[in-house]
Structure 1
Amino acid sequence: MSQPDAAAAAPASDVTVANGSQPDAGGFKLKFCTVCASNNNRSMEAHLRLAAANFPVISFGTGSLVRLPGASMNTPNVYHFNKTSYDSMYKELDAKDPRLYRANGILNMLDRNRNVKWGPERWQDWQVGMPRLDHAKERGFEGTEGGVADIVITCEERCWDAVVDDLLSRGSPLNRPVHVINVDIKDNHEEALVGGRGILDLAESLNKAAAEERDIRGASSFDQGSAASRSGFDERVPDIIGEWQERWPNLPATWTLAWF
């Protein structure tokens, strides 16, 4: 993650709550998963925006370790996925150099994150299809209890590659289609805010099409996630992304249909 400008970091007071912070029109909701390298900046901004709009959402990182900017390029702050909470990161950096980490936006970012979920999770450690009942306090939890997603949105090409390669190596045990879309976002706070808005716009477009196809195919069949029941939606996704790309030309997108 690059060193951001202090002005680009969203203040903690701007953080919205999720699964109900915005009026919910009801109806069908696709399940989303957002992914970046460290599950701290881009994926968490998108996670928050999707959850605030009442979408079920989980988030992950694909790196080997969580890396946050330090006092210099050669001295990052390094943490372990699944073992270190955002709150503990916040308190450690606040004690180490509050002026530096407030000026570069890291404390604001971690304050936002700790109000969304406990800590960064690693994609490669996620057991797809396993219940996530111990995540009930996370923003966006409602609808993710079953441990699956319909759409995975990565925020960097190398993260997209890591997700697609990992899915191939798993061998599709659930035989369930999943759309993996990369929205390329520079790793700074300002671009993460823009990317979060773009991802929410894409999610709303995808959800509209999915709800239409669900009405045609039948709710029970569509919700099971089989390839046959979702073929109409799957065929529409490339066109939806193309139309979205015209609205967001500065967020290059890549897409593939993969399998859980």
Structure 2
Amino acid sequence: MAPLTDLRIAVICSSNMNRSMEAHSFLAKKGFDVKSFGTGDKVKIPGSSADRPNIYEFGTSYDDIYQDLLFKDKALYTQNGLLHTLDRNRRIKTHPEKFQETNDKFDILITCEERVYDQVLEYMESQTPTDNSIVHVVNIDIQDNLEEATIGAFLISDMCLMMAKTEDLDNEIEEVLHNFEEKCDRPILHSIVFN
């Protein structure tokens, strides 16, 4: 399938497990040129209790994480949806990736929570631009649970379709985001940084 647009999009959450991967899956199915990342120090996912998360290094394969959870407590991780999530993830790519470690260039960076948005801006502003191309950083807050990740993926997909229909994204993005914000009734943050 030919890409829907030539926009290069990255969807970013903290661990590259749930929200960014659900949106990655939606956008890829619609033909977008999309990648997904996390910004955290480690990949953290729920464990047997709130104070005992499962923690992995970025680069640990989704398959290895799946097998680890299967071994630890198949019933728990089936019931809370983590095994299903990991199964989806490993069909999309091999492992969680850290945004701060990629050399890829993007036109739009979509973050799923304000803390991640701040981390992305901090990282982008610490880099020396190579070609001074404009990058739009857009945040839409999505709670980190399976239901919200699905709703968030629909919203991100709608927003990307609206952006794809513009003649000149750099000049029209404020209007697109304003219209989208009214439609989805969630606050949207937007900043411009340079590649």
Same fold (TM over 0.5): yes
Name which of 1, 13, 22 aligns with 1:45: 22
Give unpaired runs (5+ residues) of structure 1: 1-19, 128-146, 214-232
Given that 2:5 and 2:32 are in contact with CA atoms closer than 8 Å, whether structure 1 keeps it comes out as no
Instruction: Name the CA shift for 1:248/1:101 in 2 (closer, same or farther; >3 Å).
Output: same
* 1:199 aligned partner, one-letter code: I
**Residue of structure 1 equivalent to 2:113:** 156
**Residue of structure 2 equivalent to 1:242:** 178
* 2:175 aligned partner, one-letter code: D
Work out the number of aligned pairs and report it.
195
Task: Work out the CA distance in 1 between the residues paired with 2:139 and 2:108.
Answer: 11
Name which of 137, 150, 172 aligns with 2:129: 172
Task: Normalising by structure 1, report the TM-score.
Answer: 0.73
Task: Work out the CA distance in 1 between the residues paired with 2:52 and 2:8.
Answer: 37
**Residue of structure 1 equivalent to 2:193:** 258
**Residue of structure 1 equivalent to 2:34:** 57
Task: Work out the CA distance in 2 between the residues paired with 1:68 and 1:40.
Answer: 8
* 1:39 aligned partner, one-letter code: N
Instruction: Name the CA shift for 1:58/1:27 in 2 (closer, same or farther; >3 Å).
Output: closer
* 1:236 aligned partner, one-letter code: E
Note the alpha carbon deviations across 1:108-138, whole angstroms, 9 max, x for none: 10000000001001111112xxxxxxxxxxx
Runs of 4 or more off by more than 4 Å in structure 1? none
Task: Work out the CA distance in 1 between the residues paired with 2:94 and 2:187.
Answer: 30
1:63-82 counterparts in 2 under 5 A? 63-82=40-59
Name which of 93, 96, 101 aligns with 2:72: 96
Note the alpha carbon deviations across 1:8-56, whole angstroms, 9 max, x for none: xxxxxxxxxxxx4xxx6x7633111000000000000011100000000
Q: Percent identical across equivalent pairs?
A: 42
Instruction: Name the CA shift for 1:65/1:54 in 2 (closer, same or farther; >3 Å).
Output: same
Task: Work out the CA distance in 2 between the residues paired with 1:29 and 1:174.
Answer: 18
Task: Work out the CA distance in 1 between the residues paired with 2:43 and 2:192.
Answer: 28
Given that 2:44 and 2:56 are in contact with CA atoms closer than 8 Å, whether structure 1 keeps it comes out as yes
Task: Normalising by structure 2, report the TM-score.
Answer: 0.96
**Residue of structure 1 equivalent to 2:5:** 28
Is 1:85 matched up with 2:65? no
User: SS state of the match for residue 202, structure 1?
Assistant: helix
Q: Which has the higher strand share?
A: 2
Instruction: Name the CA shift for 1:77/1:173 in 2 (closer, same or farther; >3 Å).
Output: same
**Residue of structure 2 equivalent to 1:17:** none
Query: Cα RMSD between the aligned structures?
Result: 1.2
* 1:179 aligned partner, one-letter code: H
Task: Work out the CA distance in 2 between the residues paired with 1:27 and 1:103.
Answer: 36
Instruction: Name the CA shift for 1:161/1:96 in 2 (closer, same or farther; >3 Å).
Output: same
Instruction: Name the CA shift for 1:89/1:243 in 2 (closer, same or farther; >3 Å).
Output: same
User: SS state of the match for residue 92, structure 2?
Assistant: coil
